[in-house]
Structure 1
């Protein structure tokens, strides 16, 4: 059985490791990070050329199942995966870590996009913003007069806000470290995406303890009709079930 895993997330790497001992795994990385953490098994880097290109790749490489384990905000890739899997008649599963849930003491404000987040800044009275939405979306804040602390794995490129300090760092992050960061830079607003997961969650607790409000961008929905697993174990069990069904029929797991 040949499984294609889309994405360089923590969950994608863990799934590749879980599947690798008993099935062929190819992990596809977008190539946006200069030095990505590579999973076990076969690895390819770069795009496919849209949904049609991905469908062709699935056929050419005899892929039996696809796991969309991309970042929860990789909307284009997720929809291309859904279209390609349907075209090539290959089973598709989305692996999505659960989103964050506010708890008592949180001061969250929810928006649908980075553009809405930028428009909301004046109403929140923010002057010093900790921006953790990644380096690809800074253009939405380019015209904002506030001071921004931007944290990303690789250095961002213009356009970006005029008053920006860049912090190059990669999670997981610690609670003491996030507390110190908010205090040192006198942050009065945290802007983030609802990425979920534990690696970057300490910033939310640090903001809660400091009374710093959080402007959180809601994640886009999974394409309609695509089943969702919320853990690596669920995704591995789905693949194993597909593999077992194919073995019993004596044919490929592809319908």
Structure 2
């Protein structure tokens, strides 16, 4: 069975590893937005397909039997392209979507629908911002000259970006003690994050709650609603097994 995993997440790597260990032929597709991605076992391709039609052609050309969408919750249009391509190529499609974060007592969350809306809210919430939304989209915050930003990303950001900014190149998983230290050392008074739902990056939410710091949370974009969906790797493996 040839399984194409649309990856770029921790769950995608774990799924590819498990499928490969079971003897399945696995190809993981990465968008190529990270300079040095962590590669799973099996075959790996990097770069786009050329939209939904390009993906459908790739599925047919490489005789893919199963397509599994394990992309980041904020990967954009790829999930819609996957649904369209799977339908055109008559290939079973599964989506593995990690659950989003849920606020608990003591959280001071400010949900928004986009990075642009997050930028609008910031001046009323704080002056020293811990921005954990990655290097893409920094242009939305470039006009906020009165605010200071600590930007954490895997790769260096490009212009345009905020003028008053310090860049921290790092990738998860992050520890609670480490996140607490970052907030204290840089006198952060507001956090901005996307609702990625990853356990590896959730300690920042606990650290913000403990420090009484408001958190601007960017909601997830819409995804296709008519695609079979699971929340974890084991469920995805069971789904593949059931296909025979």
Could you say which residue in structure 1 is the equivalent of 2:127? Answer: 127
Aligned residues: 242
The more displaced of 18-27 and 3-12 is 18-27
3-state secondary structure, aligned to 1:205 = helix
Task: Give yes or no for the alignment of 1:202 onto 2:167.
Answer: no
Structure 2 gaps, min length 5: none
RMSD between aligned alpha carbons?
0.8
CA distance in 1, matches of 2:165, 2:7: 29
Partner of 1:118: 119
Once the 2 structures are TM-superposed, how far is the Cα of residue 75 of structure 1 from its aligned partner?
A: 2.1
TM-score, L = length of structure 2: 0.97
Distance 1:88 1:164 in 2: 46
| Residue equivalent to 1:170 | 171
Q: CA offsets per residue over residues 189-228 of structure 1, 9 Å max, x none?
A: 0000000021000000000000001000001122121111
Residue 35 of structure 1 deviates from its aligned partner by: 0.8
Q: Shift in Å at residue 5 of structure 1?
A: 0.2
Q: What residue ranges of structure 1 are gaps of 5+ in the alignment?
A: 245-255
1:135 aligned counterpart, secondary structure:
coil
Runs of at least 4 residues of structure 1 off by over 3 A? none
Matching residue of 1:160: 161
User: Could you tell me the TM-score, scaled by structure 1's length?
Assistant: 0.93
Say if 1:94 and 1:222, in contact at 8 Å, map to a contact too.
no
Whether the aligned pair in 2 keeps the contact of 1:207 and 1:214 (CA below 8 Å) is yes
Q: How does 1:47-66 map to 2 (within 5 A)?
A: 47-66=48-67
Question: C-alpha displacement at 1:157, in angstroms?
Answer: 0.3
